[in-house]
C-alpha cells in the first residue's frame, strides 16, 4: 500500500527556477506559497524571506529543484520603501497592532528627524519583536505574544546600508531602506520613535528588492493565476543560472552523468582557488549541480538537482 501511495503522489516533471511574486497586503508569505503550488502544480515551492502580512512587494519563490539552490543564491540584502507614523506606539510595532501609547506633545522637526535617522545607519543591534516567527524554546514568539506573554529576546546584529528620508508630512514620514537580511523595519520604526521620544510605528511597507530579485521582475497573484489558467506560467520562471551569481561551468553529457551519480570530476579551466563553488550546467543552460573545487583540482558535487527538472 505504501508503494502504491508513493506512486500516486509522485509529481510529473516540470521546470525548475525562481518565481517573483508581488505580494499583496493582507496575504501571509505562506498564502503566496500555497497559491503558487496551485498555479504550478507542484508541492515543491518555498519562499525566500518572510514578508509580514501588512507588507507588499518582492517575495521570491524557489520552484521544484531550485529549492535545493536557495543556500547558494548570492546577495541576501533587501531594499524597502515605507511609511512611519510618529506619535503612536503599537504592540506589533506596525499599523495592525493595538495602540499602546499616544504622544501628546509636539512632534520633532525635520532636522531632528534626519539626525535621528543617521544614528541607525551602519551595524546596529535589534531586539526581535514579540510578534515575529523567531522561536524561543522551540515556540514562535508570535504565539507567546498572542497569549499575552513577553519573554526576553537576545539582540542580534544587522546592517543598515541606507536609511533615507524621502518625505516628511507630520506625523507621517516616508523612508527608503537598504539593509541586511534579518533586519526588521518595524523595529527600526519603533526604535526611531523611542530615540525621538514621541513613539512611532510602521504604517506601510513595500519590499522593492530581495537579493538578486527586483520589483521589476515581480508579478501579481492575479496575473500569475491568469498565466497558470492559460498554461503559460512556466514563462515567468527565472532560470537558476543567472540568479546564483557563481562561476558557471558547462558540462558535457558524460560529465553530467558522472555528477548525477555523485562522482567527482577533474577540474579544467578557469584556475580558481580551492573551496570555490561553481554552478555546473548542461548544454541547454539548465543547472545540474553546485560543485566545490577541492585540493587536487577535483570538483565535488555539493547539491545535485533532479534529472527530470524539465526544459524551458
Distant-in-sequence, close-in-space partners of 186: CB < 8 Å, separation ≥ 6:
52, 92, 93, 94, 129, 201, 202, 205
DSSP state of 147: T
Identify whether 91 is a catalytic site residue: no
Please check whether residue 141 is in contact with residue 128, taking contact to mean a CB–CB distance below 8 angstroms: yes
Task: At 143, list the grid cell.
Answer: 504565539
SS3 48: coil
β-pair partners for 19: 61
**String of b and e for 220-252 (b: at least 16 CB within 10 Å)?**
ebeebbebbeeeebbebbbbbbebbebeebebe
**Angle of CA points 49, 15, 284, to nearest 5°:** 115
Which backbone phi and psi does 137 adopt, to 5 degrees? Answer: 60, 30
**Which of 9, 22, 31, 52 is labelled catalytic?**
52
SS3 129: coil
- Which are the catalytic amino acids? 52
Amino acid at each position: 500500500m505504501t508503494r502504491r501511495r508513493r506512486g500516486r503522489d509522485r509529481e510529473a516533471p516540470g521546470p525548475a527556477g525562481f518565481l517573483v511574486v508581488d505580494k499583496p497586503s493582507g496575504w501571509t508569505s505562506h498564502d503566496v506559497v500555497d497559491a503558487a503550488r496551485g498555479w504550478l502544480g507542484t508541492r515543491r515551492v518555498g519562499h525566500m524571506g518572510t514578508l509580514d502580512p501588512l507588507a507588499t512587494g518582492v517575495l521570491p519563490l524557489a520552484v521544484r529543484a531550485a529549492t535545493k539552490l536557495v543556500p547558494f543564491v548570492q546577495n541576501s540584502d533587501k531594499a524597502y520603501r515605507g511609511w512611519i507614523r510618529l506619535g503612536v506606539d503599537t504592540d506589533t510595532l506596525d499599523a495592525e497592532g493595538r495602540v499602546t501609547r499616544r504622544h501628546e506633545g509636539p512632534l520633532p522637526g525635520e532636522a531632528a528627524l534626519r539626525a535621528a535617522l543617521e544614528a541607525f545607519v551602519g551595524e546596529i543591534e535589534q531586539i526581535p519583536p514579540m510578534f515575529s516567527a523567531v522561536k524561543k524554546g522551540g515556540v514562535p514568539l508570535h504565539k507567546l505574544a498572542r497569549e499575552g506573554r513577553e519573554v526576553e529576546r537576545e539582540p542580534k546584529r544587522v546592517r543598515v546600508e541606507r536609511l533615507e528620508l524621502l518625505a516628511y508630512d507630520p506625523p507621517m514620514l516616508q523612508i527608503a531602506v537598504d539593509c541586511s537580511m534579518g533586519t526588521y523595519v518595524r523595529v527600526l520604526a519603533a526604535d526611531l520613535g523611542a530615540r525621538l521620544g514621541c513613539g512611532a510605528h510602521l504604517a506601510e511597507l513595500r519590499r522593492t528588492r530581495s537579493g538578486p530579485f527586483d520589483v521589476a521582475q515581480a508579478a501579481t497573484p492575479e496575473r500569475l493565476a491568469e498565466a497558470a489558467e492559460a498554461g503559460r506560467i512556466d514563462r515567468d520562471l527565472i532560470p537558476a543560472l543567472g540568479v546564483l551569481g557563481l562561476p558557471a561551468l558547462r558540462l558535457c553529457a558524460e560529465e553530467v552523468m558522472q555528477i548525477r551519480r555523485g562522482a567527482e570530476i577533474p577540474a579544467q579551466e578557469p584556475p580558481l582557488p580551492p573551496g570555490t563553488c561553481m554552478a555546473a550546467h548542461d548544454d541547454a543552460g539548465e543547472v545540474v549541480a553546485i560543485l566545490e573545487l577541492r585540493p587536487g583540482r577535483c570538483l565535488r558535487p555539493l547539491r545535485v538537482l533532479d534529472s527530470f527538472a524539465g526544459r524551458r
